[in-house]
C-alpha cells in the first residue's frame, strides 16, 4: 500500500515505536497533499501525480534538510507537473527544505530562485531569480 511504501526508509529503525513511525508516514503523506482515502491503495491504483507525491513523502519521512529531485515532472502531464512543483514550493517556503531539482524543461527551471545551466559537463550559466512562482532561498 501507499502507507507501507512511505514507511520503507524506516524499516531498520528499531528505536522508534511502530505507532510513531506510522504517524511520521501519515504526516509526510498529508504534507504532500495526498488524500487520506488513497493511503491504503496499491501504487498501480494511483495516477502519475499521486505516485510522484508518494515518492516525495517517502523522501521526507526522515525529515531531510535537502531534497534532490531528478526530473520529478518528466513523465507527467503539465497540470500534474504543476501540482508537484507547487508541492516543492510549499515544502521550501513553509518547511524550509532546500530543493535541488534537475530538469531539461525551462518552464520547470523557471520555478526556482537560482538556475544553474550545465552543457557538456560544464556550467555555462548561473542565474538568480526565477519567476514570481519561485522558491525562497534559505
pTM of the model: 0.74
CATH number for 65-138 (one of 3.30.1490.270, 2.60.120.10, 3.10.290.10, 3.40.50.300): it is: 3.40.50.300
Strands (E), the chain: 66-70, 98-102, 114-119, 122-128
Low-confidence ranges of the chain (pLDDT < 70): 129-138
Strands 114-119 and 122-128, bridge-based pairing: antiparallel
Res 130: pLDDT: 58
For 15, 51, 64, 109, the CA distances from 37, given in Å and listed in that order, are 29, 14, 26, 32
pLDDT, one tens digit per residue, over 86-100 is 888 988 998 888 999
Cα–Cα distance measured from residue 38 to residue 101, given in angstroms and rounded to the nearest whole number: 26
Res 13: pLDDT: 87
Res 91: pLDDT: 86
For the chain, what are the domain ranges?
1-63, 65-138
Q: Which residues of 79-105 are buried (b: 16+ CB within 10 A; e: fewer)?
A: ebbbbbbebbbebbeeeebebebebee
Res 72: pLDDT: 87
Amino acid at each position: 500500500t501507499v502507507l507501507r511504501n512511505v514507511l520503507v526508509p524506516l524499516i531498520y529503525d528499531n528505536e522508534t515505536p511502530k505507532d510513531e513511525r506510522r504517524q511520521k508516514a501519515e504526516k509526510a503523506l498529508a504534507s504532500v497533499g495526498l488524500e487520506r482515502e488513497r493511503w491504503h491503495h496499491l501504487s498501480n491504483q494511483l495516477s502519475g501525480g499521486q505516485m510522484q507525491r508518494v515518492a516525495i513523502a517517502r523522501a521526507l519521512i526522515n525529515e531531510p534538510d535537502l531534497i534532490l529531485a531528478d526530473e520529478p515532472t518528466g513523465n507527467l502531464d503539465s497540470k500534474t507537473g504543476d501540482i508537484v512543483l507547487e508541492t516543492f514550493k510549499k515544502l521550501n517556503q513553509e518547511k524550509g527544505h532546500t530543493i535541488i531539482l534537475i530538469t531539461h524543461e525551462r518552464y520547470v527551471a523557471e520555478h526556482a530562485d537560482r538556475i544553474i545551466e550545465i552543457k557538456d559537463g560544464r556550467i555555462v550559466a548561473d542565474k538568480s531569480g526565477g519567476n514570481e512562482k519561485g522558491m525562497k532561498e534559505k
